[in-house]
Structure formats: C-alpha cells, structure tokens
Structure 1
C-alpha cells in the first residue's frame, strides 16, 4: 500500500515537473512574438493620437518614465512618449491610471500638444461593466473621441467634469462612476503636464520600449 502511494506520488510529481517545463518552454518561445505584437499595438495607438504631421521622430523610442502618484494615479513610474520635430518637442502622450473606476483601475493614454490641446485619448486596459462602463473602449463607442480637440485650461477646469457634476463631458446612461473616474484622471494628468512639461521633456529615464 505504502509502495503504491509512493509510486503514485512520484508519478504525480514527475507529471507536474514535465508540465511546468512545457509551460516555461512555451512562454520562452512566445515571449519575443508577444513583445513584438505589443510594440506594434502601441505604435498603432500612438500614431492614432499623435498626427504624423507634427513629428519626425520614432515615438516608441522617445519613451521616458515619470513618477507622479497624485497626477498619474499610481506610485509606479509611467511612460511618456515625446513627439519632436527637428529636435523640438511638439507634444506628449502620457500613460495614466484612473484608480477609481467601477471595477478598478482604468489604464489610459492621453496625447496633448504644447498649447494644451488634447490630440487624442485611448483606453489601454479596463475591466468595466460590459455594455455600460466599457464604452470607454473605442471599439465599443466613440466616447473617447469627445476629448480630441479640447483645450485644457487650468483656469476653466469645470468643463472637464461630466455633465452630472456640472461639466461638459457626457456620461453613460446608467453608468456615471466610470466616466467620472476617467475625466478625473484626465484632469489630473493634463494639469500635471501643463505645469511640468519642460521637466517631462528633459527627463532622461528611458522606458524598456526604447531598447526594443
């Protein structure tokens, strides 16, 4: 009986070891392809929100990291992609977090030029309620397009609130928490950028993407 249990235990242990080795091998084999696909997706997003006409640099290679917990919604360093033309900064795309979404963090990227005009906004990751809060995804609705072309004026922040809070941004029927959290994250991020853009442009901490 004991020998049978020992034998079965050894077989299970060997099976687990083989499975772990197979998973590790698959991960090792697919990691470069996953990294490549993520880079291509990132490049596609950056070119959607920063017009090619205003820059002549490689946006992914211009990535640097900044840390601003209150403004960016996380203690982690976040990527910023700087668009330059003839070596002069023209705009930046900042990744930021809305930490108070209905179902947790909403990962956002917002592009803004030196004058404070928002060039584009995209949702990079979210877990909001399907059919309600997930309308922050461009493939679900055009809601994020509402921000493109808006001027961010620190002296006129009221327009950067949802209409239910007296602002100018549409909320979703039956789902105010998500757009409220989203617009708050944009307010915080854009306020930070406009107050610190020279330091952001001068940052010398490169992202991993810049090494790809």
Structure 2
C-alpha cells in the first residue's frame, strides 16, 4: 500500500512544479508580447516619419515634425472616430504647413488612413496612404511606391479645381481613376477634399505659431 504522506508529498511537489511552469510561461508570453508591441510601435513610427518627410521634405521645414504634434478629432471632415496626431511644419518658428490625418471610410476593402499636408496658403503639399487593405495591383496604387497617382493632389486647393471637379473623371471630375478600380481613388479624392475643408474652417488655430515644443507634447 502506498504511503499517504508520500503520495501527498508527490502531489504537492508536482503542483509546485506545474505552478512554477505556468508562471514562467505567463512571464515569457508577457515579455514576448511587450517586445512585439514595441517593435510594432517602432515600425509604425518609422512609417509615419517616412510619410511625413515625403510630404514635407527637410528643406521645407527646420523642426522635428513628430515632436511638433497636436491632437485633432473632427468626425464630419476628417472622419477619424477618435483623436489622432496632426503635425506642424515650421521655418524659423513660423508655421508654414500642417499635416492632417484623415480617414476615407469608403475604400473598396474598408477604411484608408491618409496623411494630407497643407501649406499655409491652403494648397496641398502632399498626400500619403499610411494604412489600407485595398486590393494588390488595383487599389494599392494609392501607395507612392506602387504609383505616382497621389502626386496629382500636389498644389491643389479648394478652388483649384473648383468643387464640382473634385471627383474622379468617371464622375465628371479632374482626377484619374485606376483601371478596374474606381472606388478606391473616389474615396481618397473625397477625403483629401474634406481635409482641405477642415483646414479652411480651422486655419487660424492650425497655424497658431506657439513656441515649438521640446518634449513632444
């Protein structure tokens, strides 16, 4: 017959071992998740910074765009759904342009996240897609690495072209659509126009030349 004390001791020992193993596993998973989250965050930061510097190259500003950020949250125009960072570009302390986040929710495969740079005079400095799920080979032509299409927005404003021409050519507007993919460019054109409307309505506050932040706030 087994010794009851020996059996209890064995069960206790196995329970302790299993408990330690479980704690070690949970700890390893937590460390892995934290490391993965940090890598994802850093990758997103690099993508964001690359897009910002493509829209407004270094020679057009003398400040750190990522550090000179402020929060915006305007559903009717920017369609964000939650506060997001926008950025001010400065030359000698004066705000010369802003870069606004805007969402085109009506993309073929869902929302398209954009950054739209707008000079102080209301002209588009540049547009970049920073996140989307559009069809490879069709809708993904909104990416600068796949097509030069987004460059069509450079220099445009609320009055150039006139409002009724802020549409793809299939809808009687000025902007090209993609062969086999009209929904994606149509959504982006509308989103860029709405970002210009937002800028026009909030121009004074967006161009407020407060002292450039030094701590990223």
TM-score, reference length from structure 2: 0.80
Q: 1:49 to 1:155 in 2, by over 3 A?
A: closer
Structure 2 residue aligned with 1:156: 162
Structure 2 residue aligned with 1:85: 91
Tell me whether 1:132 sits opposite 2:134 in the alignment.
no
Tell me whether 1:61 sits opposite 2:35 in the alignment.
no
Tell me whether 1:41 sits opposite 2:61 in the alignment.
no
Which of these residues, 107, 110, 113, is aligned with residue 116 of structure 2?
110
Deviates more, 1:22-31 or 1:161-170: 22-31
Which of these residues, 50, 55, 72, is aligned with residue 56 of structure 2?
50
Structure 2 residue aligned with 1:179: 185
Q: Whole-Å Cα distance in 1 between the matches of residues 134 and 177 of structure 2?
A: 14
Structure 1 residue aligned with 2:4: none
Deviates more, 1:145-154 or 1:123-132: 145-154
Structure 1 residue aligned with 2:82: 76
Q: Whole-Å Cα distance in 1 between the matches of residues 153 and 45 of structure 2?
A: 25
Q: Whole-Å Cα distance in 1 between the matches of residues 175 and 131 of structure 2?
A: 21
Using the TM superposition, give the Cα deviation of residue 202 of structure 1 relative to its aligned residue in structure 2, in angstroms.
4.2
CA contact 1:66–1:203 (8 Å) conserved in 2 = no
Structure 1 residue aligned with 2:125: 119
Deviates more, 1:67-76 or 1:151-160: 151-160
Q: Which has the larger radius of gyration?
A: 2
How many matched pairs? 200
Q: Whole-Å Cα distance in 2 between the matches of residues 106 and 13 of structure 1?
A: 46
Deviates more, 1:181-190 or 1:72-81: 72-81
CA contact 1:66–1:200 (8 Å) conserved in 2 = no
Deviates more, 1:140-149 or 1:101-110: 140-149
Structure 2 residue aligned with 1:7: none
What does the per-residue CA deviation read over 1:120-149, in whole Å, with 9 as the maximum and x for residues that have no partner?
A: 111000011122111111222111122122
- Which structure carries more helix by proportion? 1
CA contact 1:110–1:121 (8 Å) conserved in 2 = yes
CA contact 1:122–1:137 (8 Å) conserved in 2 = yes
TM-score, reference length from structure 1: 0.82
Q: Tell me how large the CA RMSD over aligned residues is.
A: 2.8
Q: 1:28 to 1:165 in 2, by over 3 A?
A: same
For structure 2, list consecutive stretches of 5 or more residues without a partner in the other structure.
1-14
Using the TM superposition, give the Cα deviation of residue 23 of structure 1 relative to its aligned residue in structure 2, in angstroms.
2.6
Using the TM superposition, give the Cα deviation of residue 52 of structure 1 relative to its aligned residue in structure 2, in angstroms.
2.2
